[in-house]
Structure 1
Amino acid sequence: MTQSPYKVLVVEDERWVRVVLREVLRETELPFQIVQECTNGLEALDWLQGHTVDMVLADVKMPVMDGVSFIERLADLKNRPPVVFISGYDDFHAARKALRCGVIDYLMKPVEVEEMAKTLGKWMEEQERKQEASQGSSALGMEEGKSEIIERVLQLIHERPGHVSLTELAAQVHMNASYLSQYFKQHTGRNFTDYVAGLRMEEAKMLVARTSLRISEIAERLGYSDIAYFSSTFKRTTGKSPLDFRKQELLQRSIL
């Protein structure tokens, strides 16, 4: 896909310099396009009130409002564009002040294609890094959101292991049941049905071993309407029937 060109505003009082800048930008072969030219900082500020650009190329020495005053006033804009200063004077003090004001680079006239390409290329790389970081942050936020949902679902399951269904849980966390099933498996490594069945059996073993509840009461408490199905599931899981399991646990405790 062809990248849309970055929009550039040129602020330069000398017409021939503006013509040269157009040619220099073209020769860099980078995706930058001059969309407006202004002759001083004040004119540029007025234009920016109703327009946005990705980059500003501004001269330092200009009539009406020079480049330094211009960039200081840019701070008042909601969407402040980055600025590259261009100067015909090797003025260290102006360069230092420009950099303090947030100028991203300072190029000397006549601007060489290589220097312009280097400055713009560096800026493009920075934009790509910011975009990747933003996308990564968004993805992380989505993953954190999913994790919070699954943690809530797990809490609800553990509160009522024998009386939960995927559809009911999905409604409680305001999510499609199919999506919840996918997220649940990604998070726990087990599908919803197997996880709940395993949890119910762990609860069943505890109730059989540690309480005097009848097997039918335990089955009912865990959501099994058929005691025979509960007993066969329990034996398949533990290798013993509920009564044999209870006897073994009682025997071990009496020995201890």
Structure 2
Amino acid sequence: MYTLLLVDDERWVRTSLKRVLEKTGLPISVVKEAAHGLEALDWLKDHSVDLIMTDVRMPVMQGLPFVEAIRRQRRDQPIVVVSGYDDFGYVQQALRFGVLDYLLKPVEVADMKRCLEHWIDQRQRPQAETQSAAQQTREALEKSPIQQVKEYIRLNMAGDITLTQAAARVHLNPSYLSQLFKQQLNRNFVDYIVEVRMEEAKRLLSRTSLRINEVADRVGYSDVAYFSNTFKKCNGCTPSEFRKDPAKCVTGPPALG
């Protein structure tokens, strides 16, 4: 049985993550819960675990300083980061510190299982293969500007996203980034954001019990009526109709590239 240290300031989130972990059926047990990074570090002075799972935003010591401290003390400690949609900057930095993976809230069983199975598989590989996997992770961080912006949009869809903000993330002129979107994705920046939001809305409607207004808020729409109208325009049915019978709705926007 593998051991796991769970770090999150909200008790209900820790409870939810433990339930998701149990549903994966994997041989991993939470042996310690901590409300922030400093509490976790104090516990680790006298204990060790196979894996650490930590939130990003916490009081006293946030996730990123915690990851930094771990890297200084235990260079190879496997760490999984759990984050919200608006934590992309923190997640990028955490990835550079060599965290194993990151999971988006609310964490689903399939995502948790994929992440942990990958980790268990890595532990069982020969050293050469592990080094190869690490190299692949480093290469994944060296993404093209469009790939970085697509990731930024996916992680920040709940908030306001502008072309200027996205361009600043990848150090490009907004006009040039707009041209890249049209050349590489065959659609403009705003249309792509709508497509990402609609795909996530359909996922939430079909896989969660969130209310329509909660789904709208998760994908960046404060006005539920506007969200419903946009959803119907893109998918040929309202969010409520889609939830009842997705098969009756027409195919939505083109597959995201």
Give the greater-gyration-radius structure (CA).
1
